[in-house]
Amino acid sequence: MTRLPRTPSFDLSGKRVLVTGASSGIGLGCAVALAEIGAHVVCAARRVDVLQDAVDAMRAEGWKAEALSLDQSDVGAVAAACATPFDVVVNSAGLARHSAAVDTAAEDYDAVMNINVRGAYFLSTHAAKTMMAAGRPGSIIHISSQMGHVGGVDRAVYCASKHAVEGMVKAMAIEWGKAGIRINTICPTFIRTPLTEPTFNDPERMAWIMDKIKLPRVGEVSDIMGAVQYLASDASGMVTGTAMMIDGGWTAD
């Protein structure tokens, strides 16, 4: 009798998860996705009132969730948050300040890099340190962007930050693989959230977006949720140092 293979489990019951930027949008979608498959999710963000509302709604569904006030630009606070090891860390905190490259203000450049690169870097290292100290494997997932692989109009700083994250993740995957720590990125196209509505309401920008996306729609938060479940679980046990493109074919050209 042929011995049939079995799909690895997506179940995260008993796993402890940190999701940053979890108060709304993609971050909240990631927190919900992981809670749905059994994880105890620590939802972190700066907007504590909005964050607590989200956590209360998750608990009302019967899921395990708690709120953590966290400014990801504060490396000390990030270290403290990661003092007890997590099984999965999802970084969805991010910042975008768009302008023509020649009009970029130094303070905008610094603000974007401080969150998108420096914050992502030290969240990764502190999470990995405690995983390794505890002798346990783990999965670190960064919400990057298709703009980590291409360029975009008025997005030189944002593209620079996301290209940096993609390179950082490859190097960390090489360093931490022997410890069983996987690190990957999810690279969405334009996702419909309250923060992106101004872009979608701009006819010129919308025409550019729909010309680039090969599928006949923009992205929704739900498009990210299955991907984060996959990368957080044993189903992706041989996946590290790579980018999962959820871009509707944008980067297929």
| 25 — pLDDT class (breaks 50, 70, 90) | very high
pLDDT in tens, 98-157: 999 999 999 999 999 999 999 999 999 999 999 999 999 999 999 999 999 999 989 999
Q: What are phi and psi of 239, to 5 degrees?
A: -110, 115
Domains of the chain: 16-246 (3.40.50.720)
Tokens 């400014």 found at:
71
User: Active-site residue 158, yes or no?
Assistant: yes
Pairing of strands 219-220, 138-143: unpaired
Catalytic: which of 109, 121, 158, 230?
158
Structure tokens at 37: 């498959």
Report in angstroms the alpha-carbon separations of 20 from 28, 195, 243: 9, 17, 19
Averaged pLDDT for residues 158-169: 98
Whether residue 172 contacts residue 138, with contact meaning beta carbons closer than 8 Å, is answered with no
pLDDT in tens, 52-98: 999 999 999 999 999 999 999 999 999 999 999 999 999 999 999 99
pTM comes to: 0.97
Tokens 């479940």 found at:
229
